[in-house]
Amino acid sequence: MLSAGLIGLPATGKTTLFNLLTRAGEDSVSGRFGRNEARIGTAEVPDERLERLSALFEPRRQVAATVAFADLAGAATPRNLVDVGAYREAHALLHVVRAFRAGDVPHAAGSVDAARDAQAVEEELILADLEVTERRIERIKRDRKKGAAANPDREARVLGRCREALESGAPIRSLELDRDDARLLRGFQFLSAKPLLLVVNLDEDDVGDADGAVERAGLAGMLSQARVRAVPVCAKIELEIAQLDAEDARLFLADLGLPQPGLHRIVRAAYELLGYISFFTVGKDECRAWSVANGSLAPEAAGAVHTDMQRGFIRAEVVGHADLLRRGSLGACRNHGEVRLEGKDYVVRDGDVINFRFAT
Ligand SMILES: Nc1nc2c(ncn2[C@@H]2O[C@H](COP(=O)(O)OP(=O)(O)O)[C@@H](O)[C@H]2O)c(=O)[nH]1
Ligand SMILES: [Mg+2]
Give me the amino acid identity at 211: D
Find the mean pLDDT for residues 72-88: 81
Structural domain including 173 reads 119-192
Residue 260 has what DSSP assignment?
S
Q: Is 99 in the same domain as 241?
A: yes
**Domain boundary pick from 133, 160, 192:** 192
Cβ(104)–Cβ(123) below 8 Å: no
Q: What CATH code is carried by the domain that includes residue 157?
A: 1.10.150.300
Domain count of the chain?
3
Asked whether residue 40 carries a pLDDT value surpassing 50, the answer given is: yes
Q: Is 204 in the same domain as 187?
A: no
In this prediction the pTM is 0.87
Q: Is 92 in the same domain as 233?
A: yes
CB-ligand 1 contact for 327 (6 Å cutoff): no
Nearest to 138, CA basis, from 120, 161, 156: 156
175 belongs to a structural domain? yes
216 belongs to a structural domain? yes
Nearest to 45, CA basis, from 273, 233, 307, 238: 273
**How far, in Å, is the centroid of ligand 2 from the Cα of 38?**
10
Cβ(103)–Cβ(129) below 8 Å: no
How much is the mean pLDDT over the chain? 90
Chain-centre distance of CA 316, in angstroms?
27
61 belongs to a structural domain? yes
Predicted confidence (pLDDT) per residue in 296-340, tens digit: 999 999 999 999 999 999 999 999 999 999 999 999 999 999 999
Q: How far apart are CA 318 and CA 79, in angstroms?
A: 47
**How far, in Å, is the centroid of ligand 2 from the Cα of 47?**
28
75 belongs to a structural domain? yes
Residue 235 sits at φ, ψ, to 5 deg, of -60, -35
Q: Is 268 in the same domain as 332?
A: no
Nearest to 98, CA basis, from 215, 207, 213, 11: 11
pLDDT at 28: 42
Q: Is 252 in the same domain as 341?
A: no
**How far, in Å, is the centroid of ligand 2 from the Cα of 195?**
21
Q: Is 103 in the same domain as 133?
A: no
Asked whether residue 33 carries a pLDDT value surpassing 60, the answer given is: no
Q: Is 181 in the same domain as 325?
A: no
112 belongs to a structural domain? no
286 belongs to a structural domain? no
Q: Is 238 in the same domain as 313?
A: no
**How far, in Å, is the centroid of ligand 2 from the Cα of 212?**
27
Give the ligand at the shortest distance from the Cα of 39.
2
Predicted confidence (pLDDT) per residue in 212-263, tens digit: 888 889 998 899 998 999 999 999 999 899 889 989 999 998 988 888 888 8
Best of 6, 12, 14, 16 to mutate for ligand 1, by most ligand atoms within 8 A of CB? 16
Q: Is 103 in the same domain as 202?
A: yes
Cβ(272)–Cβ(293) below 8 Å: no
Q: How confident is the model at residue 36 (pLDDT cuts 50, 70, 90)?
A: low
Provide the sign of the torsion angle of the four alpha carbons 42, 43, 47, 52, taken in this order. positive
Nearest to 271, CA basis, from 92, 134, 117: 92
Q: What CATH code is carried by the domain that includes residue 343?
A: 3.10.20.30
